[in-house]
């Protein structure tokens, strides 16, 4: 098991984050710290709902100038968009939840940690469902608590932040006579970060899928477009017992969703 030094264990949110991640002061200088091998959320989009806190993983390698050790460095990754890394960060960002340094050599460490997202505070607009840039705020300390230099390092790529989505399904009547009409309805919703609620995902295409009882594979029966409020409705012929569900894939702003199968007994 690796042992390391935890640099931060409390989430940087609210007023503290606004103070901590504002632009560097005039005396800021090149720290000599280099960051490579940056990976956020294992390279996958970050999908966020309306209340559940999220802790996207982050990992990278950090090297520093001779004469220093990892204890002289604080390196906090963060995400930003619609601004520059060194200016205007008080407009909002996604900041470090915690990081731990694992010394690899006298002048290098592997860093693991996570970011922190509380959608009730971190995300206040649906425009936040977009491409975020990755950066690292680095501070180099001399002795004790004396700050030697600090800077914002950029150019580590991007990550998508998306709105979580949901799908429901209801097939009726239940039971249904064989070869009679079965009506399948449902609703598509997605997180609205301004209203802090799931609201209708209108005009989205969804697949109606069926899984025969006793099998494990769903097959797409048809594709239906939701109305303006996200409601779905279609009819099919009931031929055998099984499960019905609605599903749709992710987009550039919204994660995908699949309803739990609704079992229908065919008599």
All structural domains of the chain with their residue ranges:
5-162, 165-264
- The pLDDT assigned to 144 comes to 65
Place of tokens 């012929």: 237
pLDDT tens sequence across 15-71: 334 334 444 443 456 999 999 999 999 999 999 999 999 999 999 999 999 999 999
Q: Specify whether domain 5-162 bears CATH 2.70.50.
A: yes
Q: Do domains 5-162 and 165-264 have the same CATH topology?
A: no
**Alpha-carbon torsion (202, 206, 212, 213), positive or negative:** negative
228: which 2 tokens? 């303006």
pLDDT of 84 = 59
* Contact yes or no for 150/31 (Cβ under 8 A): yes
What CATH number belongs to 165-264?
2.60.40.730
145 pLDDT band (50/70/90 cuts)? confident
Separation in Å, CA 225 to CA 245, 246, 248: 14, 11, 11
Mean residue pLDDT across the chain: 89
pTM for the whole thing? 0.88
pLDDT single digits (tens) 89-120 = 445 689 999 999 999 999 999 999 999 999 99
Mean pLDDT of 231-238: 98
Q: Rounded CA gap, 60 and 73, in Å?
A: 14
What Rg do the C-alpha atoms of the chain give, in angstroms? 24
Q: How far apart are CA 242 and CA 198, in angstroms?
A: 29
Q: What is the pLDDT of residue 19?
A: 38
pLDDT of 169 over the 50 cut: yes
Beta-strand relationship, 5-8 and 131-141: unpaired
């Amino acid at each position: 098991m690796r042992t390391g030094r935890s640099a931060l264990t409390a989430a940087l949110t609210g007023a503290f984050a606004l103070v901590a991640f504002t632009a560097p002061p005039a005396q800021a200088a090149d720290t000599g710290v280099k960051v490579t091998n940056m990976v956020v959320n294992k390279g996958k989009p970050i999908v966020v709902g309306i209340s559940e806190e999220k802790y996207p993983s982050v990992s990278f390698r950090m090297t520093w100038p001779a004469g220093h050790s990892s204890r002289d460095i604080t390196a906090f990754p963060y995400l930003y968009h619609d601004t520059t890394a060194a200016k205007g960060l008080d407009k909002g960002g996604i900041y470090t939840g915690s990081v731990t340094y694992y010394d690899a050599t006298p002048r290098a460490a592997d860093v693991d940690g996570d970011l922190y997202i509380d959608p009730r505070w971190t995300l206040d607009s649906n425009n936040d469902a977009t491409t975020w840039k990755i950066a690292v705020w680095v501070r180099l300390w001399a002795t004790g608590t004396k700050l030697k230099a600090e800077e914002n390092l950029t150019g580590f790529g991007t990550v998508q932040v998306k709105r979580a989505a949901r799908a429901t399904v209801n097939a009726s009547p239940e039971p249904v006579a064989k070869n009679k009409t079965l009506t399948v309805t449902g609703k598509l919703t997605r997180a609205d970060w301004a209203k802090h609620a799931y609201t209708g995902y209108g005009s989205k295409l969804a697949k109606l899928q069926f899984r025969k009882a006793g099998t494990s594979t769903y097959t797409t029966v048809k594709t239906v477009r939701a109305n303006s409020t996200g409601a779905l409705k279609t009819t099919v012929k009931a031929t055998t017992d099984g499960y019905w569900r609605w599903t749709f894939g992710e987009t550039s702003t919204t994660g995908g969703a699949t309803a739990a199968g609704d079992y229908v007994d065919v008599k």
